[in-house]
Amino acid sequence: MISKDSRIMLEVKNLHAEVGGIDILKGVDLTVRAGEVHAIMGINGSGKSTFSKVLAGHPDYHVTGGTATFEGKDLFALEPEERARAGLFLAFQYPVEIPGVSNSALLRLAYNTLQTERGLEELDPLEFEDLVHEKIKVVEMDPSFLGRSVNEGFSGGEKKRNEILQMAVLEPKLAILDETDSGLDIDALRIVANGVNSLLTPDNAVVMVTHYQRLLNYIVPDYVHVMDGGRIVRTGGKELALELEARGYDWLRAAA
Partner 1 sequence: MGTREQCFEQLLLGKAVESVGWLKPIRAEALDRARAMNFPSNRNDDWRFTDLSALYPHDFHPVVSFAKLTKADIKEYVIPGAIRLVFVDGSYSSELSDLPDIHEGVTVTSLLERLGDPLVEGIFGKHAPYKQDAFVALNTNFFEDGAWVHVAGDVTAPIHLLHVATKRETPSAIYPRNMVIMDSASGTTLVEEYIGLEDGIYFSNAVTEVVLKEQARLQHVRVQREERNAFHIGHCSVEVGKDSFYASTSLAFGARVSRHTLHVTQQGEGAEMQLDGLALVAGRQIADTHTLVNHAVPRGKSTQLHKCIADGSAHAVFSGKVIVQEGAVGTDSAQSSRNLLLSDKAHIDTQPQLEIFNDDVSCKHGATIGQIDADALFFLKSRGLTEERARNLLTHAFAAEIIARIQVPSLGESLGRTILERMNGERK
Ligand X SMILES: Nc1ncnc2c1ncn2[C@@H]1O[C@H](COP(=O)(O)OP(=O)(O)OP(=O)(O)O)[C@@H](O)[C@H]1O
CB-wise, 60 or 134, nearer to partner 1?
60
- Piece in contact with partner 1 (CB under 8 A), picked from 18-26, 90-98, 179-187, 192-200: 90-98
Give min distance, CB of 155 to partner 1, in A: 18
Span 86-115, contacts to ligand X by CB under 6 A: 93
Q: Which of partner 1, ligand X, Mg ion, none does residue 9 bind to, with CB < 5 to 8 Å depending on kind?
A: none
- Piece in contact with partner 1 (CB under 8 A), picked from 67-75, 93-101, 202-210, 212-220: 93-101
Rounded Cα gap, residues 107 and 251, in angstroms? 44
Residue from 170, 189, 208, 244 touching partner 1 (CB under 8 A): that is 170
- Considering the rule CB under 6 A, would residue 20 count as an interface residue with ligand X? yes
Residue from 44, 59, 144, 254 touching ligand X (CB under 6 A): that is 44
Cβ neighbourhood burial of 238 (10 Å; 0-12, 13-18, 19+)? middle
- Considering the rule CB under 8 A, would residue 98 count as an interface residue with partner 1? yes
Q: Could you list the residues that contact ligand X (CB under 6 A)?
A: 19-20, 22, 24, 42, 44-50, 60, 93
